[in-house]
Structure 1
Amino acid sequence: MIQAISKDAPLVLASASARRKQLLRQMGIPFRPLTSRVREDRLSSDLRRNARLLAEAKAHAVLQKSPGTWILGADTMVVLGRAVLGKPGNEREAFSMLRQLSGKEHRVITGFCLLTPEAKTAHSEAVVTRVTFKVLTRQEILGYIATGEPFGKAGSYAIQGIGAFLVQGITGSYSNVVGLPLCALVKALLATGAITSFPISS
């Protein structure tokens, strides 16, 4: 019988993302983070498949450091049309991304993968959320960039932070935009036997 996630056998989060850590804490899921170093090359034109494959690669990358544990890998991308908007390298790139997103709908795709303690892929899925930005003025974009929040964020914004003011509407999972689709994740944890019930009893 495969051991379920508990305080004594926490889930391994193959990510250094502060947002993903906060989401797991919010849900009361015991975990420990391990940084996963994977080249985030886009593998094909199928972006949902890419998100799943990158999530799987991140999970497998920490296997040697955490044998015999449940592992969660995840990858989030912001997509406008067919263009994937990564993390801005400087203020100019952040401005360009936010100007492109202004007044338009874009997609946020998060792929996540669960590996069993036996190193088998128990679940792999990609969840899509549609986000619409209000029309942004130049002053609003520059003011937001000045806060520093766009840096280190795919698409140059954080919906859970000051960047909430950018968002006019959202269709789908809010937490998916932050970094993990919690409804889908909990469903997968239960279906695979990673947890036996939810909320997890202390």
Structure 2
Amino acid sequence: MRARLILASRSEARRWLLRRLGIPFEAVDPGEVEEAVGEPREIALENARRKALKVAETLREGLIIGADTLIIHDSRMIGKSRGRGEVVEALRLLRGSSHRVLTGLAVVDASSRQLEEGVEETIVHMRRISDDEISLYASIGESIGRAGGYAIQGLGALLVERIEGCFYNVVGLPLRLLDELLRRFDVSLLELA
């Protein structure tokens, strides 16, 4: 029997990635979840845990995946851009420098309540992009609602010089870590695809 995967997320990027890989899943919006406070790694992990557990409360079976991605630049967290102005502000801050992308992942078995979790970190080095490039990119609209103001899986890739670590972490769903956590439930992404 195949495992039932439930993605506790409203993130289009995470849904896109699982669909692209041919992984069968259901998506459930966890609704509003109180944001954690503390150090970035703990925040990402706790937010992911809260999302997964909130959805798990409503289900009897399945493996629920919660994820939370944070962008850290010079010890400052950069949230999701809510509009064009915030995209421009974030990209001006990030250009020509490096930042950390942290994604907390939590997987909960709805029936046993077993919880497995971890954090992935990737370093992103941005190009020295001009104000004109920033303005053009912001006008496209793909980065609204994205942490850091860019979508690396889209035209945002043109803003990046290089990355160190997991590309899919920057998209919002680190696949190697997800597979590692699922294997603790005797499930593999390769077997699901």
Measured against the shorter chain, the TM-score band is: over 0.9
- Counterpart of 1:132 in structure 2 is 125
User: 76, 96, 100: which one pairs with 1:103?
Assistant: 96
- Which amino acid is the alignment partner of residue 37 of structure 1? G
- Which amino acid is the alignment partner of residue 36 of structure 1? P
Q: Tell me the C-alpha RMSD between the 2 structures.
A: 1.7
Write the deviation string for residues 99-129 of structure 1: whole angstroms up to 9, x where unpaired: 0000000011000001013352431111000
Deviation at 1:198, TM superposition (A): 4.9
Write the deviation string for residues 19-67 of structure 1: whole angstroms up to 9, x where unpaired: 11122223333210000123453411x2111111000000011123322
Structure 2 length-normalised TM? 0.93
Farther-moved stretch of structure 1 (174-183 vs 60-69): 60-69
Q: How far, CA to CA, are the matches of 1:133 and 1:12 in structure 2?
A: 33
Give SS of 1:111's match. Answer: strand
Q: How far, CA to CA, are the matches of 1:158 and 1:127 in structure 2?
A: 18
Q: How far, CA to CA, are the matches of 1:185 and 1:85 in structure 2?
A: 24
Matched, 1:80 2:87: no
Q: Would the aligned equivalents of 1:122 and 1:192 in 2 still touch at CA under 8 Å? A: no
- Map 1:5-154 onto structure 2 (within 5 A): 6=2, 9-39=3-33, 41-44=35-38, 46-154=39-147
Q: Work out the percentage of aligned pairs sharing the same amino acid.
A: 36
Q: How far, CA to CA, are the matches of 2:154 and 2:145 in structure 1?
A: 13
- Which amino acid is the alignment partner of residue 170 of structure 2? V
Q: How far, CA to CA, are the matches of 2:189 and 2:57 in structure 1?
A: 29
- Judged with a 3 Å threshold, the aligned counterparts in structure 2 of structure 1 residues 201 and 149 are, in CA distance, closer, same or farther, namely closer
Deviation at 1:201, TM superposition (A): 5.7
- Which amino acid is the alignment partner of residue 73 of structure 1? G
Farther-moved stretch of structure 1 (64-73 vs 48-57): 64-73
Farther-moved stretch of structure 1 (31-40 vs 55-64): 31-40
- Counterpart of 2:152 in structure 1 is 159
Q: Report how many residues are paired.
A: 193
Q: How far, CA to CA, are the matches of 1:174 and 1:85 in structure 2?
A: 19
Write the deviation string for residues 143-187 of structure 1: whole angstroms up to 9, x where unpaired: 101111121111110000010000001000000000111011112
Q: How far, CA to CA, are the matches of 1:201 and 1:141 in structure 2?
A: 39
- Which amino acid is the alignment partner of residue 53 of structure 2? H
